[in-house]
Structure formats: C-alpha cells, structure tokens
A and B are shown apart, each in its own frame.
Chain A
Amino acid sequence: MKAKTTATVISQKEIAANIFDMWIETELAKEAHPGQFVGVYPKNKSTILPRPISICEVSEEKNALRLVYRIAGQGTGEFSGLTAGDCVEILGILGNGFPLEEGKGKKVFLMGGGIGVPPILQLSKELEADKSILVGYRDAHLFLKEDLEQYGKVYVATEDGSVGTKGNVMDAIAANGLDADVIFACGPMPMLRAIKKYAGEHQIKAYISLEEHMACGVGACLGCVVKTKEVDHHSHVHNARICTDGPVFDAEEVDI
C-alpha cells in the first residue's frame, strides 16, 4: 500500500562533492525492494513536487531507508541540510524494482553510473548470483565502493582515468574481459543506450532503470513516459509510465 508519510532522519553526511548519504526511519522500509524509489518533499512551499530518489539500501531491523542523492536543485539542496532527528515527508514505496528472479543463480553484471550507482547497492545485497559489479564515476571522488565490495567483485571506471579503467562501465567490461548472462543497470541515458546495444549484440537480457521528470509518481499524471515497442497497457499508445510501469524496464521493450 502506497502512502505519504513522515520519516525521521537518522543520519546524513556528504560522501562526495554534492553527493549526500541520508538514512531515514520509516515504516515504508518494510515494503522496499531494490530498484524502487520514494518521493521526498521539500518543506519550502514554493517547491511543491516530491523529488524521486532511488532506494540505495534497506534496513528492515531499523525500519530504515538509505537515500544517496546528488544536489540537483533547490529541493535536493534543502534535503542536504537535514540532520538527525529532523522530519521529512515522503511518498512511497514507488515503482517496480529489479526482477531478481531473472538474475538468480546466473552470471550477472550489476552496473551503475554516477548517481545511478546507489540502487545497485541494495540490488547487490539481495541478488543471489555470480555478480560482477561495474560502477562508473567522473573522477576519483568515488562513493559506495566499499559498501558494494561486501557483495561482489567491484570494477571501477572513471572518465578521467584516475581510478580503475579510463572511460565508462562498458570500457570496464572489455578491459577486464568480463561476460554475463544478464545485466541490471542504472545510470545516465548514454550508458543505458550502450548497455541496450551491448545486450542486443550479445543476445542477453538487460534490465535498465530509467528516469524522467515526474509530477505525481503514482501513474496518474502521465508526465514521465517512455516510448515502448509494444502498446502500453494504460493508454494503448506505446508510452509506458516510468513511475509505475518502471522505473526498471527490459531494455528490449523501450525505445531510448
């Protein structure tokens, strides 16, 4: 059951330039799966819409969600000022997560790029598979790398070549001579397009998490659509709703 509810900030710290790591306590944590997201509300009334932020990690014992986000504007700027004990309104749990059953027991790539890295953490924690975790960053300001290393072998790529493979996660696949039966990924659109192409060429499945500007987050406003190969079940027009039909899609099914 989705709800708008008040969460309490447990902790928050900046883990890279403009990247914040916030744990919040909420009953909604019980229902969270890797790849899902929450809408987080700024308190400032001039910024009315919930900010969609992916779930980085779930602690069922603590009823807590970990949100790792980048300051992208006024709303996320406000969130970065929250400290332990502060209240924050959230809407959740939103979207469908990664289809874990499609990766179970297989050889998988878990790929994250930039601010697409966070949802890969809970995914790598829950997925029982032979995991190669490939993460791409701009430069040496890495984040979540140590967290990810608890759950599989981590391969890093940086655009400036300061750490790991110089280039992106696709370059890291080649540089390390890796292969997989299935891919799970979240990251910027050029990365997702490259993964879609790679998966097509290697005839493997890729499940990619998309983002788009959203208003409602629950499938009502039709703001965040993506073109689909098949007719969508809601509007019957080849436009799936990223918030409710996704955000994770079979790469073959979406026209990106």
Chain B
Amino acid sequence: MNTKVTIAGVELKNPVMTGSGTFGSGMEYSEFVDLNQLGAVVTKGVANVPWPGNPTPRVAEVYGGMLNAIGLQNPGIDVFMERDIPFLKQYDTKIIVNVCGKSVEDYIDVVEKLSDEEAVALLEINVSCPNVKEGAIAFGQKADALYNITSELKKHAKQPIIMKLSPNVTDITEMARAAEAAGADALSLINTITGMKIDIHRRKFALANKTGGMSGPAIKPVAVRMVYQTAQAVKIPIIGMGGIATAEDAIEFILAGATAVSVGAMNFVNPYTTVEVVKGIEDYMKQYKVENLTDLIGAVQG
C-alpha cells in the first residue's frame, strides 16, 4: 500500500497536513501527536515583522464550527527562522511555511529570507485571510491582483509556491485559473468563509472584529464543492481543506480532486485528528483494496 503523494515535485509520505493557523509550528501539538506521522506541517502565517493581531474576543463558536478573527498574530520571519524551523527540522515531515503580508514587498521579503532555508519544502501564500484589513485578502479576491502577486512571488521564491484561495469570491475557478496562469505550483483551498455572530443578550458582536472566518465541520460541503470545481478547471495539484474531522472527510476531498488534505479547526476539537486521519485513510485503502492513494485523486464518478 502506497500513501505517498507528490506536490510540485515534493514527495509527502501521506497526504495529511495541518491547516495554517490551527497548529502553530507544531510545538503545542507535539505533546499530543507524533509529527513524524504527518505528510507535512503547514505553519501559521508569518510576515516580515511581528504582527499583534486583532483585539479580543477573537474566537466564537457557531453551529458545527467556529469563527475566528485572530488577525494573523505572528512573531515575524526572523524569530520564526531562529525558533520554529529548527524545531520542525527535528521531525521527518515536510515543512510548508505559510506567508502573509500587507504589501507585495512584505511577501517578497519573507519569501527571500526563506529562499536559503533548505528545510522548507514549499511556501503557501496567504492571500485569503478575511481578518486583516490591508493586504492578504485584497490580493485574493480579484483575479488580476492574484495573478500579479503570484507572478511577482514566482520571480523571488526558490521553493514552489502554493496559493491559498479564498472561498469568499463569486467564482473560485476564475481565481484558480489566474493563479495557475501566473505560475502557481499548487493551490490550497478553502480558507475560512466570512461570517458573523451576534450575542442577542448583550446586543453585541461575538467578535471584536465583528466579522470572522468560519471553519469546522459545517463548512465541509462548500469546501468539497469548491475543490471539485477547481480540480475541473486547473491542472496543478490541490490541497483540500475545510472542516475535515475524519478520514472519510479526507477521502471525500481526495475523490473530489485534492492531492493532499489539511486538518484545520478540528485540531482544536480533537488534538489527535491528524494522526487519526492518516490511520483511517490506510484502513479505507485496505478495505477497498486501493494500492496507490494517487488512484483516488479525482476518482469520483459522474
């Protein structure tokens, strides 16, 4: 049985990764799971300088999921490279660094600093965070802006780049095509869906930021649909995510066309989710006598 998958020339031992922002840089969850068992660890978004993030409350539960408006609090690339990368290097897993910025220059700064770091296998470009006012989402909701930043980063990035797409668009395939045309090596989707919650007793927004990104099991059908549509539209590999809680969920994404999958908000719910998904995928392959996981990618029948 072969669970290996390849993304932009990088071979992963299995297709299971962590959703950016839900797993830190692995340190906190290494108490619960053996990081060696994961296909890759995708780190929390890192910018060129430290970002303080948004005021609290930053999180709120909603039916079958949650909203967050953390605002990409992060220590900046210098601390990240001194502390987080050496930590992750101890493990036999691929390191994917999620990069955020407020301007194209910010992104280039981070991407260039990471260019000599051989331990970093792939870069995931966050152009889809709904919780920061400047940058980020501004690049991810217009096809021409996405095209421009993707082609600009391709000039500076040494590692292959994954563009992380927002679901908060009219047509995700238009965005996917723009990223592919600009040279993106892979896509990841979906980022969170913009939402809102109001506390009716206090007559206040549940989040200080008013809006937040929705994640968790409730968004999975939207994510599966978008992965399927995107897989029909582009040839580059897709990392599928959005509410994955079980191996069955992960397989649904793979059948829809994802080459790999990320466990996001469910890490908060069950810290063992990632490794349970790895094991469950193997069980599914045994049950259905699937020799190569790659045989399942996009194998849903019309």
Contact = CB atoms under 8 A, between A and B. Distances in A.
A48 interface: yes
Contact of B59 (A3, A214, A234): A214
Interface stretch (A59-67, A123-131, A166-174, A216-224): A216-224
A138 to B, nearest CB: 17
Contacts of B23: 220
A236 B49 CA distance: 10
A215 B73 contact: no
Interface residues of A, number: 34
B221 interface: no
- If over half of A's interface residues share one DSSP class (helix, strand or loop), that class is named, otherwise mixed; here it is loop
Interface in A4-30: 4
- Which label, helix, strand, loop or mixed, suits the secondary structure of the B interface? loop
Interface residues of B, number: 40
Contacts of B28: 216, 218-220, 244
B86 interface: no
Contact of B56 (A1, A213, A216, A218): A213
A225 B73 contact: yes
A223 B32 contact: no
Interface string A226-241: 1000000011111100
Contacts of B65: 48
B16 to A, nearest CB: 17
Nearest to B74: A235
A49 B66 CA distance: 8
Contacts of B57: 212-213, 223
Nearest to B18: A220
A90 interface: no
B295 interface: no
Given A223-B57, A237-B52, 6 more contacts: A4-B32, A213-B57, A215-B66, A219-B28, A223-B56, A223-B68
Interface of B: 21-24, 28-29, 31-32, 44, 50-53, 56-61, 63-66, 68, 70, 73-76, 79, 216-217, 265-272
29 contacts: A46-B63, A47-B61, A50-B269, A213-B58, A214-B59, A215-B66, A215-B68, A216-B22, A216-B267, A216-B271, A218-B29, A218-B32, A219-B24, A219-B28, A220-B23, A220-B28, A220-B29, A220-B268, A221-B21, A222-B70, A223-B70, A225-B58, A235-B50, A235-B51, A235-B74, A236-B50, A236-B79, A237-B51, A237-B75
